[in-house]
Structure 1
Amino acid sequence: MTSEVFEYDFKVPASAIDDINHVNNVVYLQWIQDVAKKHWESKIDDYIRNTYVWVVLNHFIEYHNPAFLGDTITVRTWIDSHRGVKSERHTKVINTTTQKVLVSAKTVWCLLHKETLRPTRITDEISTLFFQNS
């Protein structure tokens, strides 16, 4: 089974720039979370949206190259694997012009039942939204 790659493109806004004139590391973390949410929301229906929610268990982030005001960015994300209540998602932040990888990240997410906030097993219904037989 393979996971589709979800992409989101944008230009670096002034609000992302720190005191040394490049994108602040905390902003990359926000982009990682934002693209995961966009990917999730692009696939789910109202029933799933109203029944489940994800929380982060951990992030591992590597910073490779800086980004600057006005740079065009592509954020790519995909789910590498899942088991039980956990899902491992990978993300790459890329400068679209230079094709340099700026940041790579691995995040482990836990699926919760929205009403009880208790961990819940990732169902086949959810899994098939993000993985294809290859």
Structure 2
Amino acid sequence: MNTEIFEYNITVPASAIDDMNHVNNVTYLQWVQDIAKKHWEAKTSNQLRNTYVWVVLNHYIEYHHPSFENEKLIITTWIDHHRGAKSERHTKIINEATKKVIITAKTSWCLLHKETLRPTRITEEISTLFSYQ
């Protein structure tokens, strides 16, 4: 699958800092989920969002470098592949100034029909929205 990379920029807020004076690992997980939602909302219509919902099956995160308050970060995400109702999304957070990779993440998602909350096959319409030719 040839997928587009979706990008979002943030500045680390004081609320993200833990007792060790760097971004807390739970915050990175929240950012991984937040950018997935932003990507979905940016690419889909209200009709699709009212028909389908995604749930996480698992997350795998590697922490490479710490980040600190007021640092500017670039968060990127893309769909690696999908099959049936499942999709694998990758996320990378990079320090804008140093270009160091802060974290890499891989998340398995499952598409559900919003009314029934049952898994549903990823349609060609949805797949096409997140790929390029």
- Into which bin does the TM-score normalised by the smaller protein fall? over 0.9
Match of 2:34? 34
Secondary structure class of the residue paired with 2:29: helix
TM-score relative to the length of structure 1:
0.98
1:63-92 C-alpha deviation (Å, 9 max, x unpaired): 000000000000000000000000000000
- In 2, Cα distance between equivalents of 1:46 and 1:102: 33
**Deviation above 2 Å: which 4+ runs of structure 1?**
none
Match of 1:118 in 2: 118
Correspondence list, 1:1-134, <5 A:
1-133=1-133
Q: What is the CA-CA distance between 1:46 and the residue it aligns to? A: 1.1
Q: Distance in 1 between matches of 2:6 and 2:56?
A: 19
Distance, in Å, in 1 between the alignment partners of 2:6 and 2:131 is 12
- Cα distance in 1 between the residues matched to 2:92 and 2:49: 25
Amino acid at match of 2:15: S
User: What is the number of equivalent residue pairs in this alignment?
Assistant: 133
Alignment RMSD (CA, Å): 0.5
CA shift, 1:132, in A, is 1.8
TM-score normalised according to structure 2 size:
0.99
Three-state SS of the structure 2 residue aligned to 1:2 is coil
User: Structure 1: how far apart are the matches of 2:18 and 2:2?
Assistant: 37
